[in-house]
Structure 1
Amino acid sequence: MIIKESSYAISAVREDQYPTDNLPEIALSGRSNVGKSSLINTLLNRKNLARTSAQPGKTQTLNFYLVNQDFYLVDVPGYGYAKVSQKKREQFGMMIQDYLETRANLQGLIILVDARHEPTKNDVAMYNYALYLNIPILVVCTKIDKVKKNQQNQVLAILKRKFDLNHNNVEVLTFSSVQKLHVQEVWQWIEQNL
């Protein structure tokens, strides 16, 4: 995909704040600090459009990024960050659930997992939830550049053990924002689901 323009459009915490232009949306979900902002910036070829932070738990709203005036990438708050209060986590959970279950514009979900670690219970729960919603899913194993070459096949083997990947609407890619690995493949998946 050729990116002619991209911009931060709006942050929302409930349905009446979502964009109203009826454009298709692709959501990105994953635990805090998994690399959602880095993925967005890499895809859009921008340095700091989506704010990256060394401090997990920074994204606390649904952040909509408008691409080519054609569709939105939607950054969903990260899950599983212990320093966020239980009440706040429940609020995030409701916000994410409301968005994923009610948003007619949602065309697919990119679930990011950290290639350096086994998928967490929260990762597995989010994946199973997305299967239940019956939307196209792309599982992206981020930070693959930080995994030794001889251990990279192991990442996918572990993923297959944790996730039931035998579904027609599920694809898996490794990704590195440093090496720009599989950027085109992520775009191909997005384009075919828009």
Structure 2
Amino acid sequence: MTTLQGRAATALLVIDMQNGVANALHARDQVVATIDGLVTRARAQGTPVVWVRHQSDELPEGSDTWQLIPELRPAADEAIVDKRYGDSFEDTPLESELASRGVGRLVVTGAQTDACVRATLHGGFVRGYDVTLVSDAHSTEDLTEWGAPPPELVVSHANLYWQFQDGPGRTATVESSDEVDLAGV
């Protein structure tokens, strides 16, 4: 269980599903549909949904590439956290957003598996959160041209290694969208 006292709630974290990121994702449409289903379930159960949006030279604030994809839209009461680093906690208000909602467990989805998703998984875990990676709700682009494995192997590897993450007083799990518990409390 989380090491964060009095924080039994779960939040669904949707990372960097922006035009300039998501449009190049492996299995894009399937991943987007899966995330959309999780968002719908979370809202129906009263589970907070927190959206993360990256800003960089390639994703300048306010640009079309920076905007969240049209298939996924935050509700008016859902937090949007802007970031400049891979770890969604780094120099952002994410921790205070989660604390204000009593969240001690994160269910992580989004992009890119080998960058911001990975950094945020570890960032949350070392900060005391229980962290669940949704095995079929994250992806990355094809970077084989630069020596990376094919994207489906990057996703598979993340699903493999995250289930063996370990630390005192908290859990790291990998679950499919069909089996993940979004209720949390």
TM-score norm. by structure 2 comes to 0.49
Return the structure number with greater relative CO, CA threshold 8 A, min gap 6: 2
TM-score norm. by structure 1 comes to 0.47
Which structure has greater helix proportion?
1
